[in-house]
Every structure is written in structure tokens, then in C-alpha cells.
């Protein structure tokens, strides 16, 4: 039975999930992080205009094994978060990664082979982070389980029921690898195409050029999935396009929000991973290759400019003080 739980990563999804679980499990819910993140969390998390004060597990000082740890960081932070994860688990801890992409669960399983590591994805949430504030109207659905769930494992049921009790819609799917790749295909199309076009969802079905880009980028996933024996079909691609063109029109993808806020993106877990699979499977990936280099270049430019601004700002401040 799950009594204690923790969350690593309190961005859009993590902050939303923390606020929902906090209402039901405040006395046994932890935000897990290093000294810097722990200090910030002690001041409270702002979600939908209200502050919540979950417990804090400072991983530089404490080791407290929890029953469940949910991973909500960005993919590029996963490796750096392993030490935080070690401070919150023992061999009995269930680990639920909710990261984008298709590699997180395998990475965590390799690092912690004695633990029960599930597959998990978040679908149809509108959670967004603005500076350090999280806002959402729709929680969406958490899909979870092992790779195959023809028979539900006890721990999978426990995690589902733990989430449901807090009002989080949680569903176990029989083939979670398929669901993970289907979500990845959505991310490959929607996030990357929105960045190069600057389009909100309302434009996805308005202009043929956008739909052509969506289909071309996702078709490469479909070709790779066939070689990898992942159960994705042309019908899935058609369904995903239909979902995207009917998404709430004024919403923006998370990657477009990251670009506009000049944050680091998850492009390496999207087009970057497609390119790696393309080499492995001997499948050409020209569309995702072009998307990768165009978005990666844009990201590097503004991150470099921010770095130079901070450097020059520090130099100016030093000159004033001297």
C-alpha cells in the first residue's frame, strides 16, 4: 500500500500533480530536490494562484525511502536527477517516470534494476509554467503500467488507485510501449512543427502547409516503429492529426512555450532521438533532421545571448561597485 510519495520536478506537470496530490496526501507528500531546490520549495509552490507547502526532502542531507516516486523533470535533467532519486528510494520503492520521449523508463530501469519501474505518460493536460508559477484548467489523463498489462500487477493497481483517490484520472493500458510511442509521435509532430511555424493549435487545421509538416515528421516515427515492432499504424497517424487540429485553439505546445520563454527545450529527446533510431534502423529521417538542426540552432543562439547578458551585467555591476 502506498503511504508516502515524492515528486522530482515541479514544472508544469510536476507542479500540477503536486497540487492535486497535496489536497489528499499533504502529510505524506514530498518534493524531492537538492539544497537549492529545497530552499525554493520551502517558500511554497504557486499553482493556479494559490500557494501549497508540500514536505521537502533535501537530498544533500537526507535519505528517506518513499513508497512511490514520480519523475516529472525534463528529459535533459534526468541523468542529473539520479542522485536525488537515490536519496528517496530503497528496493521497495515504485518509480513512475512521466517524461516525454521513449527512453526515460529504460534509463531508470538500467540505473535501478532492483526497483519496480513503470511506464507512464500524461495526455491532454493544459498545464503551463510561467516563471515559477504553474497554471492549469485540465489535468488530463495519466496512462501507466508495465510494457504489457494483460494481467494487472499489484503495484500498477496501487499506483493507479493512489492517483484516482486524489482526483487524478489514471488508466492502465494493455500495451504501454505502444501508448508511449504514440505520445512520442504526437510530440514529434505538434511540438516541433509549432516551433518552426510559431503556430497555436488553431492554425494546425487551417493551413495545408502545417498539416504536411505534421504528417511528414510523424511518418518517420511510423517507419521506425515498424522496424522496432511497435504496434503503430497509419490509422494512428490519421487519428493524431485529427486530435491536433481539434485541440483547444488558443493553446500552445510546451516546446513553443519553452522557445518563447527562452528556456532549454527537449529537442534532443524528440528529433534527436528520431535521428538516432533512424541510424539504428537504417531509416532515412530528413524531416526530423532538419527540424532538429533548425530548433537546436535557435535554442543555442538565445541561450548564448542570455549567457552573455548575464556576464556583461555582472561586469557592469562589478565596475559600479569598484
- Has residue 319 got a pLDDT over 70? no
Residue 129 pLDDT level (bands cut at 50, 70, 90): confident
Distance CA 216, CA 265 (A): 21
Average pLDDT on 36-40 reads 69
Secondary structure (3-state) at 136 = coil
pLDDT one-digit tens code per residue, 81-128? 999 999 999 999 999 999 999 999 999 999 999 999 999 999 999 998
In this predicted structure, what is the pLDDT of residue 317?
A: 57
Residue 315 pLDDT level (bands cut at 50, 70, 90): low
- Has residue 246 got a pLDDT over 80? yes
**Portion of the chain with pLDDT greater than 90, in percent:** 89
Average pLDDT on 177-199 reads 96
Average pLDDT on 11-40 reads 90
Cell of 92: 521497495
Average pLDDT on 181-187 reads 96
pLDDT one-digit tens code per residue, 136-152? 999 999 999 999 999 99
197 Cβ neighbours under 8 A, 6+ residues apart? 203, 209, 210, 213
69 Cβ neighbours under 8 A, 6+ residues apart? 5, 6, 7, 8, 32, 85, 88, 89, 93, 94, 95, 96
Instruction: Kindly tell me the burial class for residue 87, based on how many C-beta atoms sit within 10 Å of its own C-beta (0-12, 13-18, 19 or more).
Output: buried
303 Cβ neighbours under 8 A, 6+ residues apart? 262, 264
What separation in angstroms does the CA of 50 have from each of 14, 47, 198, 215, 316? Answer: 15, 5, 31, 40, 37
Beta bridge partners of 123: 141
pLDDT one-digit tens code per residue, 277-310? 999 999 999 999 999 999 999 999 999 999 998 8
In this predicted structure, what is the pLDDT of residue 314?
A: 61
Q: What is the DSSP string of 214-228?
A: HHHHHHHHHHHHHHH
Domain 5-174 has CATH 3.40.50.720: yes
Question: Residue for cell digits 549567457?
Answer: 307
- Has residue 322 got a pLDDT over 70? no
Nearest one of 177, 166, 114 to 144, comparing CA atoms:
177
For residue 239, count other CB atoms closer than 10 A to its CB: 13
The one-character DSSP state at 80 is G
The one-character DSSP state at 52 is E
In this predicted structure, what is the pLDDT of residue 41?
A: 77
Question: Residue for cell digits 518509480?
Answer: 95
In this predicted structure, what is the pLDDT of residue 43?
A: 83
All structural domains of the chain with their residue ranges: 5-174, 177-303
In this predicted structure, what is the pLDDT of residue 131?
A: 81
What is the torsion angle, in degrees rounded to the nearest 10, for the CA atoms of residue 115, residue 170, residue 219 and residue 74? Answer: -60
| Selected residue with higher pLDDT from 311 and 253 | 253
Cell of 36: 537549492
- Has residue 318 got a pLDDT over 60? no
Cell of 296: 537546436
Cell of 227: 522496424
Q: What is the CATH number of domain 177-303?
A: 1.10.1040.10
Residue 42 pLDDT level (bands cut at 50, 70, 90): confident
Nearest one of 178, 184, 176, 181 to 266, comparing CA atoms:
184
Averaged pLDDT score across all residues of the chain:
94
Cβ atoms of 89 and 115 closer than 8 Å:
yes
5-174 shares its CATH topology with 177-303: no
Sheet holding 128-130, edge to edge: 50-52, 45-47, 133-135, 128-130
Amino acid at each position: 500500500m502506498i503511504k508516502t510519495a515524492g515528486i522530482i520536478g515541479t514544472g508544469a506537470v510536476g507542479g500540477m500533480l503536486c497540487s492535486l496530490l497535496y489536497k489528499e496526501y499533504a502529510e505524506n507528500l514530498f518534493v524531492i530536490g537538492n539544497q537549492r531546490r529545497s530552499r525554493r520549495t520551502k517558500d511554497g509552490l504557486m499553482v493556479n494562484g494559490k500557494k501549497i507547502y508540500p514536505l521537502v526532502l533535501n537530498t544533500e542531507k537526507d535519505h528517506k525511502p518513499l513508497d512511490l516516486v514520480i519523475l516529472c523533470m525534463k528529459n535533459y535533467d534526468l541523468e542529473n536527477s539520479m542522485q536525488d532519486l537515490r536519496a528517496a528510494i530503497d528496493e521497495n520503492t515504485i518509480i513512475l517516470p512521466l517524461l516525454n520521449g521513449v527512453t526515460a523508463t529504460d534509463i531508470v530501469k538500467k540505473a535501478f534494476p532492483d526497483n519496480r519501474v513503470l511506464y507512464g505518460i500524461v495526455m491532454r493536460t493544459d498545464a503551463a509554467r510561467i516563471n515559477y508559477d504553474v497554471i492549469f484548467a485540465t489535468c488530463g489523463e495519466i496512462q501507466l503500467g508495465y510494457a504489457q498489462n494483460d494481467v494487472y500487477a499489484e503495484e500498477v493497481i496501487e499506483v493507479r488507485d493512489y492517483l484516482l483517490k486524489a482526483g487524478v484520472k489514471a488508466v492502465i493500458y494493455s500495451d504501454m510501449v505502444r501508448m508511449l510511442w504514440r505520445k512520442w509521435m504526437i510530440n514529434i509532430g505538434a511540438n516541433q512543427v509549432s516551433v518552426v511555424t510559431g503556430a497555436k493549435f488553431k492554425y494546425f487545421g487551417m493551413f495545408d502547409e502545417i498539416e504536411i509538416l505534421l504528417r511528414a515528421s510523424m511518418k518517420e516515427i511510423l517507419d521506425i516503429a515498424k522496424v522496432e515492432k511497435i504496434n503503430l499504424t497509419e490509422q494512428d497517424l490519421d487519428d493524431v492529426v485529427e486530435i491536433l487540429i481539434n485541440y483547444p485553439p488558443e493553446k500552445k505546445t510546451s516546446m513553443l512555450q519553452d522557445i518563447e520563454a527562452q528556456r532549454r527545450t527537449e529537442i534532443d529527446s524528440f528529433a534527436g532521438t528520431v535521428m538516432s533510431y533512424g541510424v539504428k534502423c537504417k531509416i532515412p529521417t530528413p524531416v526530423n533532421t532538419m527540424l532538429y538542426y533548425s530548433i537546436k540552432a535557435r535554442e543555442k543562439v538565445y541561450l548564448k545571448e542570455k549567457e552573455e547578458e548575464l556576464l556583461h551585467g555582472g561586469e557592469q555591476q562589478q565596475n559600479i561597485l569598484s
